[in-house]
Amino acid sequence: MIKIGMMIGERYEILEKIGTGGMSDVYKAKCHKLNRFVAVKVLKQEFSENANFVSKFRIEAQAAAGLMHPNIVNVYDVGEENGIYYIVMELVEGITLKKYIEKKARLSYKEAVSIAIQVSMGIEAAHRNKIIHRDIKPQNIIISKEGKVKVTDFGIAKAATSNTITSNVMGSVHYTSPEQARGGYSDEKSDVYSLGITMYEMLTGRVPFNGETTVAIAIKHIQEELPTPREYVPEIPQSVEEIVLKCCQKSPDRRYQSMSQLIDDLKQSLINPDRTFVAFHDETDESSTRHISDAEISQIKKHAGGLRLRSEVERQESYQNDEEIYQEEEEEEDSRMEKITAILAIVAGIIICCVIIVLVGKITGLFRFGDSGNKVIDGEQSQTESVLPPSSEVPESEMPSQSEQEPVAMIAVKGKTVREAVDALRELDLEPEIEYEESDEYETDIVIRASASQGTLLQPGSIVTLTVSSGTSAIDIPTVTGQTYEAAFNALSAKGFVVEKTESYSPTVAKGYVIYQSPGGGEKAPEGSTVVLNVSLGEAKVTMPNLIGRTEDEAVALLIEAGLSVGKVSEMNSDQIEEGLVCYQSYSYGVEVEKGTAVDLKLSMGPSLVTYKLNASIAAPTMAEAPDYVAGTPVKVSITTSTGKLVLETITSSFPLSANATGIPSSGGTILFTYEVTPEPEIKVDPETGEQVTIPGDPVEKSFERTIEFVKE
């Protein structure tokens, strides 16, 4: 039993509980040997009592402890003490990707791709060490306050999925791969699938498959086609959608075969989001979507023992009891599956009919498709042009929608010199790319053809590829992409090429390095021809968001979204901003700053305590205030604030009175003057003796008030 303040492993002092999950509780602790804060994940009792699970957990956690990567929540230590099994991990302050998606509803494609790249790099490091996560999902991805993305729960996942007691409850089945759902062999490509589903949720704000039971969801992963992300968010770029679809192929052989391949395409999608470069393998019988046999459904149900949400009582049952539960549910599930199969058969029939109609219509010319791709016939291009959308990196907030951009008509460029064609296309706000082709028909540097024919309507920014004659004597163009501009310039100049420099921002290519070249490296071109180098300006500057009046969590989320990080967070008094909200940011709203800049925040402590001071000369009572006051009479002077606090009390018989005080909490108060008046003595005649007797008067206490204003300190 873990208690706050206890010491485990003779070095970790438990400070507070910071989280809980299906398998474990997480505590913040202090490592007294290394004097640092850590996170200690402690297995819950029901898992600690399963010897088979503990054995596998220990082996996998120890293997994970060997992983050290900036995008992994690093495991420092693994241990056991008095039946308590724990792992010591890096303490990351931030929010899970799941909560971040819920807060934002959905992420922009640039933010989603940037997060996916960091996740992929962490997973890639694990795969190099022969460690497969098997439970990639937004709940296991943390975004730190500094904006760093980290994957957690390495090691615990494999131990869990290899036992009948498992962490794959309702939250995990949404991200599980088809082979995992079947209970079959899973490898690195299972992590690729789960990451693809995670990207899908980042982009659309929803998971692709849902259902009432974990079994129903698992069957959808195996049997149903993935709905395309652009069905829900049409503005998702084509390349990003294709990356997600490739990750989520049913067959592992059709997915990315390694995280490095996925990272390359993700980086490319940031540079050319609307270009088609994702390579898909040919469809095979084995990789196509198919219906599931009764035997497979039974196997899924058995494997789903780890996918069911169990009550506390069910968690104490053995695996044999789970099988009895499944047997009792067999008839209900079979009946439900028969209905599902019948519905799917009807839907499949309708789809097949639609496909046949479309194919017949296309063959007969009944239907025409304007986006059917480029066809070159006898050196000329047919009218079925493919129009590419803009590929330049423009901030989403500044990029007009398709409907807002006026299309431009493609001009005739065939027969022009390459310089004339390039200049003319750029005047139309089109982006020319050049490729050379040996020709004995066209002179050197003359345009043979273009990827869009004359009159075709193109969106501004669209790429137009110019095929240019290199004559009959061409030389190879060096590959300079990824080099510094100076090195690239020297390499091309040495070969006799003319270099033209263009610049653009890039989130992945360092400032001063070549993003791409046109024509590309390895192509042939005549000596003296122009090679265009697009050079990186580094990451685009970030506009500082307005954080004033936000909660700390909201401010952190806005900074992470903008690509910034959180600096120091402190407190200060504020008369304008409510207590607990951000009242100060170290960079003003709207200024341009470098991406990754740390922004200091100050949270309001509410209005500051304003104090006043007294520095006055108090005059003697006037005739109007005290007609019977006699100079030299002792007077008690009391100064009290409007809230009743006594500031000064003294007795004096001489005026003016000097009064000084500080730290007064009110802006004003009153001066109370109290003095005594003795009446004239009374003379009476003694009736017995007839003598006059003088009887002195009794003193009478009198008082009056005078208002006073204090001075602000």
Active site residues per annotation:
135
As a residue count, the chain comes to 713
Pairing relationship of beta strands 408-409 and 498-504 according to DSSP bridges: unpaired
Rounded CA-CA distance 671/625 in Å is 12
- DSSP codes, 639-658: EEETTS-EEEEEEESSSSEE
| Residue 180: closest CA among 220, 218, 208 | 218
d(CA 445, CA 84): 76
* DSSP H or E stretch at residue 143: strand 141-144
DSSP collapsed to 3 states, 86-117: EEEEECCCEEEHHHHHHHHCCCCHHHHHHHHH
Place of tokens 């901003």: 577
Beta bridge partners of 473: none
Q: How many CA atoms lie within 13 A of 362 on its CB side?
A: 11
Query: Which of 173, 177, 174 lies closest to 186, judged by CA?
Result: 177
Sign of the C-alpha dihedral computed for residues 562, 564, 565 and 566 taken in this order: negative
Distance CA 176, CA 214 (A): 11
Cβ within 8 Å of residue 303, ≥6 positions away = 181, 182, 183, 218
Under a CB-based contact definition with an 8 Å cutoff, are residues 53 and 159 in contact? yes
Distance from C-alpha of 705 to C-alpha of 687, rounded to nearest angstrom: 45
Contact assessment for residue 58 and residue 85, using Cβ atoms and an 8 Å cutoff: yes
Let me know: does 652 contact 681? Beta carbons within 8 Å: no
In terms of Cβ atoms closer than 10 Å to its own Cβ (0-12, 13-18, 19+), residue 16 is exposed
> Is residue 204 exposed (0-12), middle (13-18) or buried (19+ Cβ within 10 Å)?
buried
Name which of 250, 120, 248 is nearest 194 in CA terms. 248
Give the residue from 138, 260, 271 showing the smallest Cα distance to 199. Answer: 138
Distance CA 323, CA 213 (A): 17
* Amino acid in the structure at residue 515: I
| Residue 663 main-chain phi, psi, to 5 deg | 70, 30
Strands (E), 487-577: 498-504, 514-518, 524-525, 530-536, 542-543, 565-572
What phi, psi does 648 have (nearest 5°)?
-150, 140
Distance CA 248, CA 475 (A): 42
Structure tokens at 41: 């994940």
Q: What is the spatial distance between Cα 11 and Cα 32, in angstroms, rounded to a whole number?
A: 5
Please give the structure tokens belonging to residue 332.
């209900």
DSSP secondary-structure letter at 548? T
> Can you read off the two tokens belonging to residue 412?
């005739």
Spatial CB neighbours of 26, under 8 Å, sequence gap ≥ 6: 17, 18, 19, 20, 39, 40, 41, 42
- What is the C-alpha to C-alpha distance for residues 392 and 408, in angstroms, rounded to an integer? 17
